[in-house]
């Protein structure tokens, strides 16, 4: 059997590019270990983003790269991921039980922000992360309906001082919808609303979350300012449609996060195109290229484009969002791709040794 060195294995691994990291694993520092003996080559890859949906694909591709030089040895790939906590704005202390807070925002209402938020939360969970979602729209909470929570569902308190999050579709959730009757309006001034938000966030006993998704109300008002000043946010996601008025407001949302030192991780263009269910004709009803325009103007990334499709609305209204209702469908695949891109962009923000990938360990028997 021919001699095989770790350097040769690294060279083979370096020929595979991870499309979410825009890098090979050697350059990214994601090769945790290479162990070579007479019978096998054992390689441990450590990612900073969850990748359950593509794990087999990655492992098969790496085996294909290394096998030609393995000299008849079996090539085994152990693919792991470890989600690290990233820096929040103004170095605010993190939330207990939460590694990363991601705010999902839009400049205006009606662009499908809440639908996008819940499906991305579910997609991150499906990819292997521990995820929570908080509905920060105090006046018009919608996540209770979207998660299929039965009317009258209330959070439980074990100590009379805090709440346990409500479990739904594998997510930990909290929303004002679980504090009031569905038909009860909230007629509060700004300070009461921001106080309610702070209590929802700080008094909920989140349990070992990799990501907490915060579904913000539209606009750039009191809730957003409170979030930027009081809540440790590690990144933001902007949701828009291609139409000009939505883009104008979405740009205001991007500027708001930039002014508060919260990085915009990317843009999702919702209702990007409508495909006729009868003839298959595709038509960009709300315009074309808006998400790309924002991403280019603000040096961020268009993470994905979602179609204008009746089933997305129907499934979410029924409390069974698309990622759960059609997990193997085309739209769920888009949401999961967006989730991986979002998580990878956040992982690439690591800026200190504590968040870096472990150094490679090589043993040759």
Q: Does residue 94 carry a pLDDT above 80?
A: yes
Q: pLDDT tens digits for 276-328?
A: 777 877 777 666 666 777 888 888 899 999 999 999 999 999 999 999 999 99
Q: How far apart are CA 84 and CA 49, in angstroms?
A: 9
> For residue 350, what pLDDT is reported?
72
Q: Tell me how far apart the alpha carbons of residues 364 and 349 are, in angstroms, rounded to a whole number.
A: 33
Q: Which residue ranges does the chain devote to CATH 3.40.50.300?
A: 89-347
pLDDT tens-digit map of 109-142: 888 999 999 999 999 999 999 999 999 988 878 8
**pLDDT at residue 179 greater than cutoff 50:** yes
pLDDT of residue 357: 43
Which tens digit of pLDDT belongs to each residue from 191-240? 788 888 888 888 999 999 999 999 998 877 888 888 888 899 999 999 98
Q: How confident is the model at residue 246 (pLDDT cuts 50, 70, 90)?
A: confident
Give the CA dihedral 188, 194, 200, 206, nearest 10 degrees: 170
The edge-to-edge listing of strands for the beta sheet with 361-364 is: 74-81, 40-47, 31-36, 361-364
The domain made up of 6-83+358-364 is a member of CATH 3.30.300.130: yes
Beta bridge partners of 98: 209
Where in the chain do CATH 3.30.300.130 domains reside? 6-83+358-364
pLDDT higher than threshold 70 for residue 156: yes
Q: Is 70 exceeded by the pLDDT of residue 1? A: no
Say whether pLDDT at 361 is over 60.
Answer: no
Mean pLDDT, the chain, rounded, equals 88
Does the pLDDT value for residue 363 go beyond 80? no
Q: pLDDT tens across 329-346, in order?
A: 999 999 999 999 999 999
CATH number of 89-347: 3.40.50.300
Instruction: Tell me the pairing of strands 40-47 and 98-105.
Output: unpaired
pTM: 0.90
Q: What is the pLDDT of residue 271?
A: 87
- Among 41-50, 71-80, 211-220, 277-286, the minimum mean pLDDT is found in 277-286
- pLDDT value at 161 more than 90: no
Find the mean pLDDT for residues 352-359.
42
């Amino acid at each position: 059997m021919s001699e095989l060195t770790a350097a040769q294995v690294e060279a083979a691994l370096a020929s595979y590019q991870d499309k979410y990291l825009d890098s090979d694993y050697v350059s990214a520092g994601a090769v945790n270990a290479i162990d070579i003996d007479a019978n096998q080559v054992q390689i441990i890859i450590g990612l900073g983003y969850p990748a359950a949906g593509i794990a087999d694909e990655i492992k098969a591709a790496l085996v294909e790269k290394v096998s030609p030089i393995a000299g008849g040895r079996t090539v085994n790939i152990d693919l792991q991921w470890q989600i690290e906590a990233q820096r929040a704005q103004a170095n605010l202390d993190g939330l207990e039980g939460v590694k990363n807070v991601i705010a999902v925002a839009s400049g205006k209402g009606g662009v499908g922000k809440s639908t996008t938020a819940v499906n991305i939360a579910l997609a991150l969970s499906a990819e292997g992360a521990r995820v929570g979602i908080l509905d920060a729209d105090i006046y018009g909470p919608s996540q209770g309906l979207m998660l299929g929570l039965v009317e009258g569902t209330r959070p439980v308190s074990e100590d009379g001082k805090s709440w346990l999050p409500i479990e739904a579709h594998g997510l930990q959730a909290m929303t004002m919808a679980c504090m009031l009757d569905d038909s009860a309006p909230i007629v509060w001034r700004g300070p009461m609303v921001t106080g309610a938000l702070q209590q929802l966030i700080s008094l909920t006993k989140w349990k070992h979350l990799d990501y907490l998704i915060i579904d913000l109300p539209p606009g750039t008002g009191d809730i957003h300012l409170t979030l930027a000043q009081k809540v440790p946010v590690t990144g933001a996601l902007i949701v828009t449609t291609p139409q000009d008025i939505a883009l104008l407001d979405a740009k205001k949302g991007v500027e708001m996060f930039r002014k508060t030192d919260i990085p915009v991780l990317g843009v999702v263009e919702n209702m990007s195109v409508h495909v006729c269910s009868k003839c298959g004709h595709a038509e960009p009803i709300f315009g074309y290229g808006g998400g790309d325009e924002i991403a280019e103007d603000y040096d961020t990334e268009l993470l994905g484009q979602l179609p204008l499709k009746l089933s997305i609305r129907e499934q979410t209204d029924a409390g069974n969002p698309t990622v759960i209702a059609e997990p193997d469908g085309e739209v769920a695949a888009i949401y999961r791709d967006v989730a991986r891109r979002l998580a990878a962009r956040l992982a690439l923000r690591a800026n200190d040794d504590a968040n870096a990938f472990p150094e490679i360990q090589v043993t040759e028997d």
